[in-house]
Amino acid sequence: MSAVDIAGGVAAIQERIGAACARCGRKIDEVRLMGVSKFHSRDAAEAAWDAGIRLFGESRVQEAAEKFEGFREEKPGTELHLIGALQRNKAKAAVSLFDCVESADRDELIAELGRLAASRNTPLGVLLELNAGEESKSGYASEDDLFRGAETLLAWPNLEPRGLMIMAPYTTDTALIRRAFRSLASVQRKLETRFPEADWSCLSMGMSGDFEIAIEEGSTLVRVGTAIFGERRTGGSLTGGSLP
């Protein structure tokens, strides 16, 4: 079976990020690259680290806890973000594992994170997730709901607001995708006006299929899985190519 060339994938994505930045007059260091290692092995995450990835995204608490056990001690400078839906009964484990929860989309969840984060030495980073409409399920359903989430977030001293996250609708219609990214940038400007005391500078938007559009619309963090690690194995057996 042919292994995925993770180092080659990282280099290719970094080049495309650079080209996208150049096209729209942005600096390459304005955009961070996250390696989304969900459903991939620890070995794959280590290969990405060796290729220069320092920020990893995982969508499940338990999987991340197992995969990244001892990882940060071995590989200093590693940062780990939760990008998937968080159940309240997993909040405690999430607060002790992640540097940032990007998928905060309910006031009760934020309050729970706030209570639990009191036990941390450093504040827990939080991004508020906006729902992109269409068929997506996650994220605050409206701007006003999200603003209330921002108020809740600001009330907890050991939570650190960092900005916003969105998943573009699952479609090939690039106009719809662009519109979702643009709406997130617009909500960010409103947040900055309404709550100038906090830092909302992170715009986490863009995945393997749409990160270049996201960069054109102001993304500061692109979350790339498939284009680095290959297709995810979401069940079934791995047979590994054809036999001779």
Ligand X SMILES: *Cc1c(COP(=O)(O)O)cnc(C)c1O
Residues near ligand X (CB under 6 A) are 36, 38, 59, 83-84, 167, 207-209, 223-227
Q: CB of 9: closest distance to ligand X in angstroms?
A: 11
Q: 15: Cβ–Cβ under 8 A, 6 or more apart, which residues? A: none
Here the tokens at position 228 are 């680095």
Q: CB of 224: closest distance to ligand X in angstroms?
A: 5
Is 82 or 156 the residue whose CB approaches ligand X more closely?
Answer: 82
The C-alpha atoms of residue 93 and residue 154 are separated, in whole angstroms, by 22
Is 59 or 152 the residue whose CB approaches ligand X more closely?
Answer: 59
Q: CB of 234: closest distance to ligand X in angstroms?
A: 10
Q: CB of 13: closest distance to ligand X in angstroms?
A: 10
Instruction: From residue 104, give the alpha-carbon distance in Å to each of 42, 58, 217.
Output: 26, 14, 22
Is 101 or 113 the residue whose CB approaches ligand X more closely?
Answer: 101
The C-alpha atoms of residue 41 and residue 63 are separated, in whole angstroms, by 10
Is 59 or 156 the residue whose CB approaches ligand X more closely?
Answer: 59
Q: CB of 62: closest distance to ligand X in angstroms?
A: 16
Q: 188: Cβ–Cβ under 8 A, 6 or more apart, which residues? A: 163, 164, 200, 203, 218
Return the residue nearest ligand X (CB atom).
Answer: 225
Is 59 or 188 the residue whose CB approaches ligand X more closely?
Answer: 59
Q: What is the DSSP string of 48-90?
A: HHHTT--EEEES-HHHHHHHTTTHHHHSTT-EEEE-S---GGG
Please state the length of the chain.
244
